[in-house]
Chain A
Amino acid sequence: MGFVVVSDHGKEEAMNIVVAMKQVPDLKMIRIRDRRPLLEDVPFMMGEIDRSALEAGAELREALKGKLIVLSAGTEPLEDTVKEALAAGADEAILILDEALRDGESALVAQVLAAALARMPDVGIILFGEGSADNYSGQVMARVAEILSWPQVGYAREIRIEGGVAQITRSLEDCEELLEVPLPVAVSVVAEIRQPKTPSVTGILRAGRKPKTLWTLADLNIGLNGGAPVRTISRLAPVSSRLGQVIGSVDELVEIVKAKRGPS
């Protein structure tokens, strides 16, 4: 006989795991010309850390007996990009598609994701990457948690769930914190939490057949009053003043290192 988690009502409760996925341009494909990034024809992909988050989420499925749902807000190619998450094991997808989400502005995205979460039943935990592969801003998780008045834990390296409580190891620069938090909770994970798995062909082919729900901003009663809180004035590749000199010998290297090292 094993232990079964029971709620106050005495019946077993399934809770869903949500993974927030951001579609990002394939950074390896971005070329710079005249210091400007060329983004046309750069394909979109699921961010690497989000793949780790999904893998971590898949492991929680058993403890929560619920579904693994991928949630994403963005523009049109998202319907295709989300197949990566579905191929890697998510059970279903909820997508919010709108041109206004093109820039992925954190405050707006958080508002949208929180509104979507509010209408999804039985969410036990939502996982985010510690930062998106392109912007690495790391605000969305905390903003969503605030809107929903949920507790939050950032930089999770390990998550275990037992009896409706999450045990989370938060990895900070100089220490790790072992935390206990009730569900529902918003969590961001570090890339090391899990190695993303290579999806199987069957997984990939079934991805397109998994349930997908599409919502618009109007469905979520979100209006776009006022402009974005942050305005981007310029976006340029930094100019390098490095010498970029190829040196021919170890002698030269030793000489340079000794000179640059200065008095010790």
Chain B
Amino acid sequence: MNIILYSERPDLASELVTAGRAIMDICGGALQALTIDDDEQADFLAARGVSVHRVRSDQPSPADVAQLASAVHQTAVALEADMILLASNRRGRELAGRLAQKLGGGCLTDVGRFEVLDGRPAFSRNALGGAVEDVRCMETGKQVIALTPHSFAAAGVATGPGPVSDLPVRLSPSLVRLKETIRKGADAVDIEKADILVVVGQGIENKEDLTKAAQIARSLGAEVACTKPVATDRKWFSEERIIGLSGKRCKPRLALLLGVSGQVQFTVGIRDAGAIVAVNLDEKANIAYVADYLLVGDLKTLLPELVKRFSA
């Protein structure tokens, strides 16, 4: 299997290195990385022991996914790649479909892990809103696989760096003009990396109680994350902090869930946590099936007590 990997984000690309190596262990073959107009990333990946192709485009337009796809496609053809590994962040997912169409290949996004079946990799991803997990195999010669961020460990620095070479591509003029990039707030939190998470759900009903949840997080040395409606409807947090299908997949050692009902679209993002402790008014809330420990009770009265106990 001839594998190439690409992500605009070096940290995610280095996870793809780990995943790519694991696939090679199954089917043999070669693993190469590509970077697009990003020499810094090329060096970063080379240091991780992979062979890197620095794609140089004649008219770079990083926000134009059609162009990105064209660049990756030309590289894939030049390197005779069978499998293209991408990161399943938003940019990567958008790229995956277009690239697969160009290659005439199958495509899977949001792949969390894979296993070996008849000497081939079989990929797992959530389906039916997270209620089930599909295991799927690719039937096409060319395939595009986008991996859920942080499903694989980042590759460490290797003893010997991989070779770096240049690879020019020709792109047609871009139709998409990037007028402005606006960084999202000062919320540079990365809940995916947090060891301990305090997760706020809609069961926390006002800002005062929210402050108490934040206080508990501080005492525990935890990051605060939230369910989707808390960010998108109430706008209490940036979307950066959403856990779940349309947010982040987190694997903290400990997660404390406050007023979270535990719909599948949420639980897919916390399934892999070490220990899950939940507080909910409703004993029959779905969270009862997801948590290790559930305290049934009213957060309105419990929060002040918890603040006191954890700060002690």
Q: List residues of chain A with CB under 8 Å of any chain B CB.
A: 25, 27, 30, 32, 36-37, 106-107, 110, 130-131, 133-143, 145-147, 151-155, 167, 170-182, 188, 190-192, 227-238, 240, 242-247, 249-250, 252-254, 256-257, 260-262, 264
User: From DSSP, what is the main secondary structure of chain A's interface residues?
Assistant: mixed
Binary contact readout B130-149 vs A (1 if CB under 8 angstroms, 0 otherwise): 01111111111001000000
**Interface: B184 (CB within 8 A):** yes
A135 x B101 contact (CB < 8 A): no
Contacts of B89 in A (CB 8 A): 172-173
Contact B131–A179 (Cβ < 8 Å)? no
Whether B96 and A229, one on each chain, are in contact in the complex, defined by CB atoms closer than 8 angstroms, is no
Among listed B20-28, B151-159, B271-279, interface-contacting one: B271-279
Contact A236 B133 (CB under 8 A): yes
Complex contacts, A181 vs chain B, CB 8 Å:
175-177
A58 to B218, CA, bound (A): 45
Contact, CB under 8 Å: B135 / A232: yes
Contact call A179/B178, Cβ cutoff below 8 A: yes
Chain B 96-134 interface mask (CB, 8 Å, partner A; 1/0): 111011100111111000000100001000111101111
Query: Could you say which of A178, A182, A253 contacts B279, with CB atoms under 8 Å apart?
Result: A253
Shortest Cβ distance from residue B205 to the other chain A in the assembled complex, whole angstroms: 19
Residues in A neighbouring B65, C-beta threshold 8 A: 142, 152-154
Known: A152-B98, A178-B180, A260-B277. A136 touches B292 (CB 8 A): no
- Smallest Cβ-Cβ distance to B67: which chain A residue: A151
In-complex Cβ contact of B293 among A136, A145, A235, A253 (8 A): A253
19 A-B contacts, Cβ less than 8 Å apart?
Answer: A110-B101, A134-B128, A138-B94, A139-B100, A143-B97, A146-B98, A172-B89, A173-B240, A174-B184, A175-B181, A179-B177, A190-B246, A230-B138, A233-B137, A235-B132, A244-B288, A244-B294, A257-B310, A261-B253
Closest to B309 in A: A254
Partner of A247, one of B122, B221, B239, B294: B294
